[in-house]
Amino acid sequence: MGEREAVDEQLRQEVMEGLESLPLARIQLVRDLVAALRRPVRPLRRRARERRSVLDGPAIGIWAHRDDMADPAQSARALRRAIEQRGDRGSHPR
């Protein structure tokens, strides 16, 4: 018996010994787990429309025609500062 086979056999033996000490309800859980692990794993498929770039999304450019946001990055920083200074941040759970 090779080294890998010996390790595999030792692992199986440890699992079997552990099962022998479990109550029936736990053994049933193990049986269900083993059944779930035997099911083939299907790869997740992404639909073509889910693979779109974020840059193609509807939110891109929403500030493009606003006169009060000539510099969107600066406007976002100012908005964050205003929110941070409101003083009510700790009163609302997330």
Q: How many domains, in total, are found in the chain?
A: 1
**Which whole-number Å values give the CA distances from 59 to 27, 53, 56, 62, in the listed order?**
52, 12, 8, 6
24 within domain boundaries: yes
CB of 72 closer than 8 Å to CB of 63: yes
Residue-range definition of the domain harbouring residue 31:
3-38
13-57: pLDDT as tens digits: 999 999 899 998 899 999 999 999 999 888 777 665 566 787 887
Q: Is residue 32 part of a domain?
A: yes
Decide: pTM greater than 0.95. no
pLDDT-derived band at 65 (thresholds 50, 70, 90) equals: confident
Residue 20 lies in a domain: yes
| Residue 33, domain member (yes or no) | yes
